[in-house]
Structure 1
Amino acid sequence: MNLNHDKDGVTYAVLSYLMWGFTPIYWKLVHHVAPGEILAQRVFWSFIFMLILLLITKKWRTYITFVKEIMKKPSLFWSLFTASVLISANWGIFM
Structure 2
Amino acid sequence: MNNHSELKEIVFQFVEQDNNVQIMPLGKGHINDSYKVISNGKEYVLQRINHHIFKNVDQLQDNIFRVTSHIRAKLEARGETDIERKVLSLLPARDEKLY
Same fold (TM over 0.5): no
User: How would you bin the TM-score normalised by the shorter chain?
Assistant: 0.3 to 0.5
Larger Rg: 1
- Structure number having the greater strand percentage: 2
Higher relative contact order (CA 8 A, sep 6+): 1
